[in-house]
Structure 1
């Protein structure tokens, strides 16, 4: 799976269906699971892995955060929690934006576990 693959969300939808969010395992069959870890995400997505947290510039984060809040019909300065996005995923089952919310929750939970109470 690559970032280019996100243009066609079928694979991501399949992963959403197979992912157990409580165990963070992709359940391939009753006896076969793939545990998702920060290291595996780093290898697949090509993201940095380590203790140093590197956030994008505020010039990028600000407009992206405002746009996400607008997509969720929230105030522009609202704190957005993973549980809020999970609720949206459940309500928008056939909506392509649900795939985007899934990726946001997954990467936030795996790569930035210390910020689990809000999306950065």
Structure 2
């Protein structure tokens, strides 16, 4: 985990964002021999972009539009447990903070979830 810059945000809501993103990273990396999760941030065009990256199951970018929907799953329940509301919750919290969220993934190579917060 890299040191993260402070942000003007609701602490409880941000803990839910990280709880969901990190628990997903752990869950989807759990079947890897050497799971790896990286939590950090970067400056992009004067904006702080926070991220959670893993080397887990990843996802097919062809189904990206389903990623942040309620009860939308890209992996079967038998493969990975879950309710299908975690990323929808994260999306809603980030939007309420004036930010945006997006992700990149590759099947069997992992994923990275990025988000920003408004000023």
Q: TM (normalized to structure 1)? A: 0.29
**Counting helix residues as a fraction of each chain, which structure ranks higher?**
1
TM-score after normalising by structure 2? 0.29
* Bigger Cα Rg: 1
